[in-house]
Amino acid sequence: MDRNFDLKAAISSVRAASRACRDVQQRLVSADSLEKKDKSPVTVADFASQAIVCARLEAEYPNDPLVGEEDSAALREDEQSKLLNAVVQTVGSEIRGNPDEDQVLGWIDRGNADASTLRYWTLDPIDGTKGFLRGEQYAVALGLIEDGEVVLGVLGCPNFPANDGIGALFAGVKGQQARAYALWDESDDTGAEVHVSRIASAAEARFCESVESAHSDQSTSAQIARALGITDAPFRIDSQCKYAAVARNDASIYLRLPIRADYEEKIWDHAAGKIVVECAGGRVTDADGHPLDFSRGRTLAANSGVVATSGRIHDEVIDAVRRVRGMA
C-alpha cells in the first residue's frame, strides 16, 4: 500500500508542532504549566502541540479519529485563562486564520477518540514533558494504527543531535527502511536511511533507559545489564528519543520495565518509536518477548514492559530479562 500521502501529512504535522514546542521552550516560564492528578506537568506546548497536529490532520483526513494524551478539561477552568491564552497564541503561529479559543479547545479534544476503530492516529504531543521543562530531550510522537497494527510512525526530536546541528525527525513506514530528516528544513523530503547496530553479542551493547526513575525499574535494568556482561554506563535520555537512539545506532537496547504489576503502558508512548526501530532493522516486544498489542484500546493492556533492541541480540536480552525478573 502506498502511504506516501500519509507520511507527508504526518511529517508536516510533526514539524509544525515541533516548531511550536521549540518556541515555547525558548521563552518558557514556570507559570506556563499545570499539574495532572498524577502530578505530571502539562505545559503550553503540550496543549498547543496536540491542537496543531489535530488541526492539520483534520484538514487532510476529516474522518480519521485521533487518540491523544491530552484533553482540554483543565484548560477550560477559569483560573487557567492565562495558560489558555498562551496556547491559543502558540497555535496561531502555525495554523492560519487566527483560530479562537473554541477552535483550539475543539482541536485538543479531537484527541479523545475511540481507540477501537479500524484506522486512527495516536499522538503524544510532548513525550518527555519533564525533559522539556529541563531543556533536555523530548519528542512529538505520532503513529498511525490500522487493524490494531502500527503502520507508520514519526518522531520529532527538537533537541536531538543531528548532522547539521540540533533537531532530527525520524520516520518509519511498514515495509520500508526507516529514515531521518532535517527537522527544521521543510525542503528535506527524502531524508537518509537509518540502521540499527549490527552487533552480535549483547555484551557489546549500550543500553538506554528513562531519566525519570519513576518511569522504569532501573535497579532491575542494572541487574540485566550485569547479566548480559554490559559494562558501559546506561545512556539515560527522556522520551521516545530512546527509540530514535536505538534506530540510529546510538544505543542497542532500550529497557522500560514495569514499576508495578498493574501498570499499563499507553499506546501513544510507544507506537511511533516502535515502528521506527523495526523499520531500522530492530525488534520491539514486551518484557516477556511477546509482540506489542495495539488492539486493546488506549493502553497495551496485554503487555508488560517494553524491550527494544537492534535485533540480532533480542533473544539474548529477553532471556536475561526473564531470568532476572524471575529472581525478583
| Sign of the four-CA dihedral 218, 307, 182, 12 | negative
CA distance 237 to 229: 22
Residues involved in catalysis: 46, 129
CA distance 251 to 179: 17
- In sequence order, the 6+-apart residues with CB closer than 8 A to the CB of 266 are 69, 124, 298, 299, 300
- In sequence order, the 6+-apart residues with CB closer than 8 A to the CB of 111 are 50, 54, 66, 67, 68, 69, 70, 71, 123
CA distance 261 to 97: 48
